[in-house]
Amino acid sequence: MPRRRKEKAIIRPSDKTEQTRQAVDDAVLELLGSGNIEFNILDVARVSGVHRATIHRRWPDRKILIRNALSAHQSVIDVEYTGNFPEDIRRLAFAFRDFFITPREIALIVVLASSKNLEFVKEFVSVWLKLLEKEMDLITRAQSAGEITANLDPDIVLSMLATPIMAEVLFSRIVPTDQYLEKLVAHVVQLCVPSRTSEAFTRVPAKKRSAAK
């Protein structure tokens, strides 16, 4: 019997485009995380394996490269409103924790803290603020639905949730445990939800937190 020819995997143009985008984003994040903030197109081409002509064509300048890479990096924090404020806030707290403890995010924050490159700092802050603005929609929708107090500042509520988690990871070098997050969420909910509702939210006893590696 004649041997059957092994069929080649079909790579669609859209798949190849996405692979190229991911390779370039990863290369930019790797360069930034290593402290090479002054990278050029040749550096990105070398690390990503994507031809420099392709990079020039699709990402015409460094700002776009940095902005797109940081946006892709932060896209993992994506919590949608469900109509259950305590549960939505809980999911957001865990998403923040899992994001802040990644080696790549820690490396980027360390570089950001010591960087004098205003272009990088500006893009980093801009992308982060856009992410927070998106997640604040969860809080404003909960207000519109009457789940939480109407006169709360969504920005402050989000800061109450994210800042302690970030501080634990970056300054205390401690990975917040699930129990710690539950307790933090309980406090935020208690401050946001009318008392008759927040009373039903279970308090979680304090437990020891694990040190970051």
With both helix axes pointing from N to C terminus, report the angle between 103-114 and 154-170 in degrees, rounded to the nearest 10: 100
81 contact partners, CB below 8 Å, separation of at least 6: 88, 137, 138, 141, 142
Domain enclosing residue 33, as ranges: 13-72
The two tokens of residue 39 are 């990278």
pLDDT for the residue 171? 86
Last residue of a domain, one of 48, 72, 96: 72
Flag whether 184 is in a domain. Answer: yes
pLDDT for the residue 212? 53
pLDDT for the residue 130? 92
Q: Which residues of the chain have pLDDT under 70?
A: 1-14, 195-213
Whole-model pTM: value is: 0.80
pLDDT for the residue 170? 85
How many domains is the chain partitioned into structurally? 2
The two tokens of residue 101 are 């403890």
One domain, residues 37 and 81? no
Q: Which of 79, 74, 106, 85 is nearest to 157 (CA)?
A: 85
pLDDT for the residue 8? 46
pLDDT for the residue 204? 46
Scored b (16 or more CB within 10 A) or e, 104-121 reads ebbbbeebbeebeeeebe
One domain, residues 137 and 93? yes
One domain, residues 22 and 105? no
What 8-state DSSP symbol labels residue 8?
P
